Structure formats: C-alpha cells, structure tokens
Amino acid sequence: MKIGAMTDLLLRQVAESRPGCEEGSPDDYDVIGPGGLIIGRIFKAITSPPGTPWMWTLAYGEDEDRSSTHGYEATRDAAMQAFARSWEENKDGPA
C-alpha cells in the first residue's frame, strides 16, 4: 500500500506482536522506504492522546536532523500522510 503521491514509501503489515500494540493486532505496519529498508512504523497504539489512536514514528537512525520524528493522528491515512511529510522534509539531508 503506497503512502502518498509525494513519496515512494510502502506499508507492510506486521505478522508478529511488538511493543506498543495489542498482541496480534492487525493495526501494526512497517514503513518500507527506498531499497526495501524499514524506515519507520505506523500502528494503533495501546495508549495515546484522546481521539488520536494511530501513532507514526521514524526508525532509529532515520530520525536525525528532523523536526518531527513521531506523532499521533485520528486515522491511519492521516498517520501515513504525517509520516510522509516528515520523511520528505529532509530526506536528502540537512540543507
């Protein structure tokens, strides 16, 4: 599943259980970037601010020099767009 027209990032549903999600949750996705590398995660968090259950986060090492490295959104689509904006803002490194 493509994240947005502004990027070549893909989502891949995660099969195993990971911290931050309910066990066996179908709402846990890796974000796959250029070269097939996992560059982040989008998931429905166990705890989150009211009305924003979907969390997005950049993978460790992909978060350097970025103003936004994670956040919460009301829908998965909104989380996908927020992730894409963060990724695109500095994907070529600092100016």
Q: How far is residue 32's CA from residue 36's CA, in Å, rounded to a whole number? A: 6
Domain-embedded: residue 41 = yes
Of residues 64, 79, 67, 83, the one with CA closest to residue 9: 83
Domain-embedded: residue 1 = no
Q: What residues make up the domain containing 73?
A: 10-89
Domain count for the chain: 1
Give residue-wise pLDDT tens across range 7-44. 567 778 775 656 555 555 788 888 888 788 888 889 98
pLDDT of the residue at 13: 76
Give residue-wise pLDDT tens across range 49-81. 999 999 999 886 655 666 678 999 999 999 999
Domain-embedded: residue 3 = no
Domain-embedded: residue 80 = yes
Contact 32, 56 (CB under 8 A): no
Amino acid at 20: G
